Structure 1
Amino acid sequence: MDVDGVSILARGIAAKGPEGVVFANLDLQVSAGALAVVAGPGGTGRTSLLLALSGRLPLITGYLDVSGHVLPAQAKAVQQLIRPARLRPGYELEDKHRVKEAILERRLISGASDRDIDAALSLVGLAPDRSALVGDLHPADQLLLAVALAVAPSPAGILVDDVDVGLPLPSRARVWAALHEVTRTGMTVLASAADAPSGDVEVIHLPAREQDWPTDVFDLLEEDTP
């Protein structure tokens, strides 16, 4: 597997959700083929930033370029480049499905071949019992299965939300090691976690307090409110 990963450049970006601003005045740069981790406590906008960087959440201000595609105008192209492995809530494997059913579903949706899926499972170090229920797998295996199914069609980047949630330290280390292996293909991995791992990681820290945001962000929000 040889992939041209996405690179990302953002300047002064901000986004809002139903309850208001989720992040603001954010600058970041992600190299192609990097493991980039949005780090911080829950409620700081980690998932929202992953959505925004992949063209799935519109910005209210700022400049965002993903491998030459400028958002929001080229959001659909960016969505094809960066595919979700897991995004919470809403994009996770179904616990009630058997592993073989999850594989078949993603294969039909993505167009990946059986060989592609076998290679992706091997890449992340997973050999699941395909007759087992997804919900019966160890949480780390569930996450790695989702990663493998996202990796199989060789997108330029993948999204992996809440990497460390519910995992003991040894399992976290195993998952981070697998994500590093994914980047060795050239694919960019955009992940979120409370704490970033050590090593070769590009860490994105989110501002956690409203007082860190410039007043013009709130002016923009008022202008954008119907």
Structure 2
Amino acid sequence: MGLLVEARGVSALGADGLLFTCVSGTVHTGQLAVISGRPGLARTALLLALCGRFVLTGGSLHTDRDYRLHGPRALRQRIAVARAKPSIMLDGALRIGEAVTERRVMCGRRRGFEQACWHAWARMGLEKPPVRALVSDLDPVERVLFAVALAQAQGTDGIAVDDIDDSLGAEDRAFVRQALSSIVEEGTAVLATCADDDWAEVRIPLEAPHDPGDDHPGGSPASPQPAGDGDAARPAPAGDAIEPAHDAAPAAAAQPSAAAAPQPPVGAAQPSQPPVGEETRPRPAPAGEHGPVQRPTLDAPGERAPRPGRFRRRGPSPADGDSA
């Protein structure tokens, strides 16, 4: 196995500040590496950085010395990105055949691209779909594996795929992981982002920058207490109780007495009461006085039951992939 990428203390900045810092890891060809951590921009940025597609502010990236290029330029040629949200995604409006043709033209490989794509598709345990079907007809598992098959057909040394467990149940996650393992068995390295990394050969945890305020639920240890009007904000002395700025009024004074309720004058018209035995019904509100319309809420993507796959078999089968 040759060296694919080695990160040495890499760091990067985003629009809102530090994304990641001092991240190191080594991935060789034919290995399955997982970047674990919370989904978001930082995790995706680290994946793109390891592929030479994100600007670093610190650290360095290295690849095999025998490769003709070096640095990020070499990594861009050696690693194909299958998916990186939200910039690199499959277009659901394209037909499956059109998506294959588009990737073939973009990567410049004109011979054997379609055969390599469907070979990888069968290797991962999927039946070939109709080329006139839409990409949006694929379920979430098939869609991410279709992106992996397109990247595998480019003939690179590695594949990068982001957020492989997005909105997937336990059974679907196991299927995707087994499918990626079948790609690794052919000698192609896979770099993936996932919430957990206990199933990977190489683990690259994403460590968020440490905030001193995280050690104190109420903020930093020197955060001042709120002060009243005109008072300077200052921390309370240790061991002293904080006295209220004004005496609290008795609770009984805040509640009006029933005996003190105003009574209508003698002879005034009394409010009309419904006759005894008559059922009282609420009067409909006039037009324009109704509250906001309550609309039915849809299930969150993570709570919606996954649709059964149309082109999925029992599992990846190397024998089927070889005969495809």
TM-score range, shorter chain: 0.7 to 0.9
Alignment-derived partner of residue 167 in structure 1:
168
Identity %: 38
Q: 1:122 aligned to 2:119?
A: no
Q: 1:182 aligned to 2:179?
A: no
Aligned partners of 1:94, 1:5: CA distance in 2, in Å? 34
Find the structure with the greater CA-based Rg. 2
Give the match's secondary structure for 1:141: helix
Which string of whole-angstrom CA distances, capped at 9 and with x for unpartnered residues, describes residues 103-142 of structure 1? Answer: 1111222215232222122222222232221112111000
Alignment-derived partner of residue 192 in structure 1:
193
Provide closer, same or farther for how the CA distance between residues 211 and 186 of structure 1 changes in structure 2, counting only shifts above 3 A.
Answer: same
Q: How far is 1:35 from its partner?
A: 0.6
Which string of whole-angstrom CA distances, capped at 9 and with x for unpartnered residues, describes residues 154-178 of structure 1? Answer: 2011110000001111111111111
Q: How far is 1:5 from its partner?
A: 6.3
Alignment-derived partner of residue 138 in structure 2:
137
4-13 or 178-187, larger mean C-alpha shift: 4-13
Alignment-derived partner of residue 16 in structure 1:
13
The equivalences for 1:1-226 within 5 A come to 6-43=3-40, 45-68=42-65, 74-110=71-107, 111=109, 113=112, 114-126=114-126, 127-198=128-199, 200-211=200-211
Note if contact 2:7-2:25 (Cα within 8 Å) is conserved in structure 1.
yes
Aligned partners of 1:44, 1:121: CA distance in 2, in Å? 29
Which string of whole-angstrom CA distances, capped at 9 and with x for unpartnered residues, describes residues 197-217 of structure 1? Answer: 52x5211111123349xxxxx
Aligned partners of 1:167, 1:42: CA distance in 2, in Å? 14
**TM-score, normalised by the number of residues in structure 2:** 0.59
Note if contact 1:106-1:149 (Cα within 8 Å) is conserved in structure 2.
yes
Gaps of 5+ in 1: 213-226
Aligned partners of 1:39, 1:58: CA distance in 2, in Å? 20
> Which structure shows the higher strand fraction?
1
Provide closer, same or farther for how the CA distance between residues 77 and 135 of structure 1 changes in structure 2, counting only shifts above 3 A.
Answer: same
Give the match's secondary structure for 1:210: coil
Note if contact 2:5-2:75 (Cα within 8 Å) is conserved in structure 1.
no
* Structure 2 residue identity aligned to 1:146: A
Note if contact 1:161-1:192 (Cα within 8 Å) is conserved in structure 2.
yes
Provide closer, same or farther for how the CA distance between residues 5 and 148 of structure 1 changes in structure 2, counting only shifts above 3 A.
Answer: farther
Note if contact 1:69-1:78 (Cα within 8 Å) is conserved in structure 2.
no
Note if contact 1:6-1:156 (Cα within 8 Å) is conserved in structure 2.
no
Q: How far is 1:58 from its partner?
A: 1.6
Note if contact 2:9-2:60 (Cα within 8 Å) is conserved in structure 1.
yes
Aligned partners of 1:48, 1:176: CA distance in 2, in Å? 22
Note if contact 1:5-1:156 (Cα within 8 Å) is conserved in structure 2.
no
Aligned partners of 2:40, 2:205: CA distance in 1, in Å? 13
User: Aligned-residue CA RMSD in angstroms?
Assistant: 2.2
**TM-score, normalised by the number of residues in structure 1:** 0.84
Note if contact 1:44-1:206 (Cα within 8 Å) is conserved in structure 2.
no
Gaps of 5+ in 2: 213-324
